[in-house]
Structures are given as structure tokens and as C-alpha cells.
A and B are shown apart, each in its own frame.
Chain A
Amino acid sequence: MRKYRCTICGYIYDDAKEKVKFEDLPDDWKCPLCGAPKSLFEEVKDNDTSKKEADKKDTSYVEEVDDDLRELSNYEISLICSNLARGCEKQYLEEETNLFRELSSHYESLEKSKEGNLEDIIDMVTSDINNFGNSMEVFSKYDDRGAKRVVNWASKSTNIMKVVIDAYKEKGIDYIKNTKIWVCDICGFIYIGDNPPKVCPVCRVPSFKILEVC
């Protein structure tokens, strides 16, 4: 009997407890907790030696970095400011929160949009997913707990993003027609369905932080 773990939310599918073996589940079967497809499940091994070995070897590629901070783009400034607004909000600094939000909107309005289509987005999201592993190794090398935490969430939410885009590409507008779309305002997890999960499967925040997109 085997066990399988959802790499997004950690849900365990235990062959011993289920009527249908994991292997025999249809290809369009989804994680009951977060909606991740079957392909994002991995088998649970009792002695997870493969993982330990992967931790040992250091293959991370670290680029040479200039000391000088290069000039920031308008979007970078905008999102640094909206992040600082969130930080001020946590400290109950209402006026500062609003001032940072104003700055953020100003810099966002200066930025121009760019030509492109869904295929371009799919390529970029796929490339992001492939890069998270190297980032994680860099953050482990410098022992940065915060950076490891963010890349863990970002990689899960980006994987779900890819699942959603792929499903839309395959099923077309019917996939989202008459259905609500939700985004977790803490980690970016996307959910398609009438009601969001009670707790975000990626960052575990309660559902009132998972917002409906209108």
C-alpha cells in the first residue's frame, strides 16, 4: 500500500484508506483540499533519503552581483511601496499606510503595458517554476529563513497558477463561466469554485483573507 502527498497543500492520499488506488484515479482527478492536479502529487517514502542527499550537495549557481543598487523600474517601486503599506498596516500606522499606497498607485500609473498573449504567460510561468529550485539553494546557502519561506509559498502559488492557466487553455471559457475566482491576499494562491477553502492550502490563512475577484 502506498501513500501520496500533495506538493501544494500537503494533503495525503493513503491507498489503504481509500476505495480507489491512487494509480487508478482518473487523470482529471484533483486534490480535494486545494484543487491541485494528480501530477503535483508525490509518493511518500518512509525514509526520504533522496531528499536528504539533495540537501547535501551544493549545486546552486550564484551570480556575481554589483554592490550598487541599479535604478528601480516603476513597477518595482510601486510594489515595494505597496509592500511597505502592508507592513505599516500591521503596525497600525494608518496614515503611513495610506501614503505608501498613494506612492504605489502613482508609480503603477507611470508604467506602460506590454504586448503579449497567453502563450507568453505560460512560457514565463513555466520558467519561474523551473527557477525556484535554484533560488531555494541560494537562500539555503546564505541561511536566509525568510527568503526560503517566501520562495516556498511563491513556488506553490505559481504552480497552481500554471494549473489554472493550463485548464483554461484546455477547456476554454466554460472553465470560468458561472464560477467564482478567488485569490489569497497573503500568498497569491488562486482558487476556482463557488466557495474558497476554509483555510488557504498554501499559507494557512483563514478564508476571509481569500478574496473574490470581481
Chain B
Amino acid sequence: MKEKSERYAYRDLKICTKDCLCLFVCPTGATDNETGQIDFDKCIGCGSCAASCPSKAISMLPRVYPKQKVKDKHVISELFKLADSKIEQIKILKNMINESSNDDEKRLYKALIHSNKVIIEDLFREAGFMLSQSTNTNKFLKSLLGKDKEIDTIINKLLSKLVVND
């Protein structure tokens, strides 16, 4: 069997305006697919469709993502310290929402929680959780197993879908 290309074309259906130039330039017919999505198996990764798309709806994605950077433990510890202070604030703010009877005040506390969450997620992303296909994520998911049956089902689905790349 022929080896698969490093990259494949992906059509963002939220952006695609059916200009159909991809159908015209595609050498294998991979862009002409009943599902509306590109046939990833037929795609040879030439990039002609992405280059011709006037709506910029097609991206060339890697079949295997590059390995994520290994983070120094001191960097990780510092990032967690910043995140943990914000987590404590979320806990207090949730309580403040419950105790407040004013909708405007609640809205402000919600905004503070949202802002803190976005920042914490970003801190964790840089603390070794950039890629869901990393060994780090794999270990993290496995460490959560064995406490709750329903949760184990979700984790096992993720473990089977996410192929470790490093």
C-alpha cells in the first residue's frame, strides 16, 4: 500500500462558501466527497485546493503533529503557582455569586470568573498540556482512571482516539 502524505486538506464547513474551485484543481477527486468534507484517505497533500480556495476555507493539517516542547519542572511549578491563586479566586467568586441578589453584580463576578478561567487554561497549555496527543496528556488521562465508571468510559474513548506522538 502507498504511504500516506504528511499533510492532508481539511475543509472548514463554517467558512466554505461552495466556490468549488477545489473540485476543479484536485488531482485525485478527494475534494469531491458526499460528506461535504474532503476524503482524507484520497488526499495526497498537494495543497492545490487550499491555494485555490477564494474563501480560505481549506487548511493543510499534519497527519502527525510535531512533538510538544519538554518543559522544565521549575517553569511548570511557577505556572501552576500562578494558576492556583486564580483557582482560589474562582471558588470565592462562585460563592459571591450565590450570595448576591443583584444581577449586575453577578454579571461582574461571572466576568471575573471567565477571565480567570481563560488565563488559567492558557497557563496550563504552557505547562505541558499543549497537545492532546502528548505523552504528558496520556499520563494525565490515565491517572484519572478508576474513580467513576462513566468518567472512565469518556477517558477510555479519548485514550483510544488520541495516538501518542512523542
Q: Which residues of A are in contact with B by a Cβ distance under 8 Å?
A: 62-63, 65, 67, 72-73, 75-77, 79-80, 82-84, 86-88, 91-93, 95-96, 99-100, 102-103, 106, 111-118, 120-121, 124-125, 127-128, 131-132, 135, 138-139, 142, 144, 146-147, 149-151, 153-154, 157-158, 161, 164-165, 168, 173, 176-177, 181-190, 211, 213-214
Contacts and interface: CB of A to CB of B under 8 A. Distances in A.
Interface of B: 10, 12, 61, 65, 69, 71-96, 98, 102, 104-105, 107-108, 110-112, 114-127, 129-132, 137, 140, 143-144, 148, 151, 154-155, 157-158, 161-162
| Interface SS of B by simple majority | helix
Given A87-B132, A91-B61, A173-B104, A142 B74 contact: yes
7 contacts: A62-B74, A65-B74, A79-B121, A154-B123, A157-B118, A158-B119, A173-B102
Contacts of A211: 114
A-B pairs with the 10 shortest C-beta distances? A116-B92, A114-B91, A188-B115, A83-B121, A113-B95, A188-B118, A113-B94, A188-B119, A213-B111, A183-B114
Given A164-B108, A176-B104, 20 more contacts: A65-B76, A76-B80, A83-B121, A87-B125, A87-B131, A99-B154, A100-B158, A113-B95, A114-B91, A117-B92, A132-B82, A142-B74, A149-B126, A154-B123, A161-B112, A168-B108, A181-B108, A183-B111, A183-B114, A185-B118
Contacts of B154: 99, 102-103
A114 to B, nearest CB: 4
Contact of A87 (B95, B105, B130): B130
A77 B94 CA distance: 18
A184 B130 CA distance: 20
Given A83-B129, A168-B108, A187 B124 contact: no
Contacts of A115: 92, 95
Contacts of B162: 96
B69 A173 contact: no
Contacts of A154: 82, 119, 122-123
A168 B89 CA distance: 17
Given A80-B129, A115-B95, A118-B96, A86 B83 contact: no
Contacts of B107: 176, 181, 213-214
Given A75-B91, A165-B112, A116 B96 contact: yes
A177 B104 contact: yes
B89 A125 contact: yes
Given A63-B77, A188-B118, A112 B91 contact: yes
A161 to B, nearest CB: 6
A157 to B, nearest CB: 6
Contact of B85 (A88, A91, A127, A142): A127
Contact of A84 (B89, B137, B161): B137
Contacts of B118: 157, 183-188
B82 to A, nearest CB: 6
A100 B108 contact: no
Contacts of A86: 121, 125
A92 B144 CA distance: 25
A181 B92 CA distance: 20
A160 B121 CA distance: 18
B90 to A, nearest CB: 7
B115 A79 contact: no
B89 A121 contact: yes
